[in-house]
Amino acid sequence: MRVRGKVNLGLGILAKRPDGYHEVESVAVPVGLADEVAVRPVPYGIEVRCPGVPGPPEGNLAFKAGRAVLPLFPAPFGLDISISKGIPVGGGMGGASADAAAVLKAARVLLGEPARREALDEIARFLGADVPMFLVEDVTADGRVSAFLLRGRGDEVRPLRSRDLPELYLVLVLMNFPVSTAWAYARWDEMFGGRPYCHPEQRGTSAGLDETETRSASGYSGTSEDPKGRRTTGFMDPRIQRIIDALKTGDARLLGSSVFNDLEEPVFAGFPVIREVKHALCRAGALGAVMTGSGSTVIGIVADPLHGLEVCREFRRIWAEESCCGLEKSSLLTGRPSVKELVLVDRSRVLGRCKIS
């Protein structure tokens, strides 16, 4: 099973919630960089093989997903899970969540009982905020989602229908180090944690996104409406609507000027090399650049594949010059922080890649 990673074109943090999570609003897009996940039934137990990922298998989110679904099967039953990583670990592209969702999708096939989808929805939310998004992707009518609109702690998912949207082209800059999501949000709390929490029922609404549906991971869908019966986005952050408008029209320049991530400031403070990558991408000709998720990956918006190749070539030149002059090194890293690879993607394919270090 091929499972795509995601990038966040916009990530706004409203406040820290009473349950310890953070209330967010985000636009996430699936991209062509992907993992390969194979799941097969075995007589008992759970085995996970994931070469290149540090730590015991029990710490892998796919293992936790397998352990969570086993009670749904008649005993004895087990799962053998094999993962080939293409999505960078700790890169802010949701690789672990995508793998966990793949295990849940496989369990849904093996169970063959649609009535149990509600149980899988609950497991997805328990495993992590991004897992429901990847589970939703598999049940949309056309089998391909162009964007996700996310709220709550990231587990309230609205797919943006793909058939009406132009293609999207991105340059991904993959780093040679991960960034912990928990660490990034803890640093955000230190900087901005005094914001008052706003309950979802207190949110404002804004009309104009008639392509969105509220959809659970099991496939249930319904529209969000204001008192006058109009479909609404329900987003508080006006920056989100600009990104949605850019995606709908295919305006790469508008998208480039609209991307944002509220985690950048705290993460850049700890990993200044990521800030340098963002600046280098813009100098190389990208229409805009932003860190995805909690990092460490940075994405550049490009107009088309040819433009993407030009940006990659210029970025390599700029980065080589700046590396010779020396970059500001983070005290959080034991080795030399650097760019590992450039990858040119659209929503479903890898169009080109170039090793840097």
* Cα–Cα dist 144/137, whole Å: 7
The tokens of 267 are what? 């993460």
DSSP string for 205-269? --B--TTB-EE-TTS-EE--B-TTS-BB---S-HHHHHHHHHHHHT-HHHHHHH-EETTHHHHHH
**Mean pLDDT confidence for 294-321:** 96
At 226 the pLDDT is 36
Distance of CA 82 to the CA centre of its chain: 21
The tokens of 196 are what? 């008052």
Q: With contact defined as beta carbons under 8 Å apart, do 50 and 57 qualify?
A: yes
At 222 the pLDDT is 32
Q: Which domains does the chain have, with CATH numbers?
A: 2-161 (3.30.230.10), 169-215+235-355 (3.30.70.890)
The tokens of 287 are what? 């229409």
At 322 the pLDDT is 76
Q: For the segment 141-164, what is each residue's pLDDT rounded down to a tens digit?
A: 444 557 899 999 999 998 876 566
At 113 the pLDDT is 67
* Cα–Cα dist 160/77, whole Å: 37
Q: For the segment 240-292, what is each residue's pLDDT rounded down to a tens digit?
A: 999 999 998 899 999 999 999 999 999 999 999 999 999 999 999 999 999 99
Closest CA to 281 of 298, 265, 260: 298
The tokens of 132 are what? 């429901």
What pTM value is reported for the model?
Answer: 0.86
Mean per-residue pLDDT over the chain, rounded: 84
Task: Give 301's pLDDT tier (boundaries 50, 70, 90).
Answer: very high
What amino acid positions are annotated as catalytic residues? 6, 130
Q: With contact defined as beta carbons under 8 Å apart, do 290 and 260 qualify?
A: yes
**If you ran DSSP here, which 8-state letter would residue 174 be given?**
E
**Mean pLDDT confidence for 45-62:** 90
Task: Give 72's pLDDT tier (boundaries 50, 70, 90).
Answer: confident
Task: Give 214's pLDDT tier (boundaries 50, 70, 90).
Answer: very low
In percent, the amount of the chain with pLDDT more than 70 equals 80
pLDDT at 196 over 50: yes
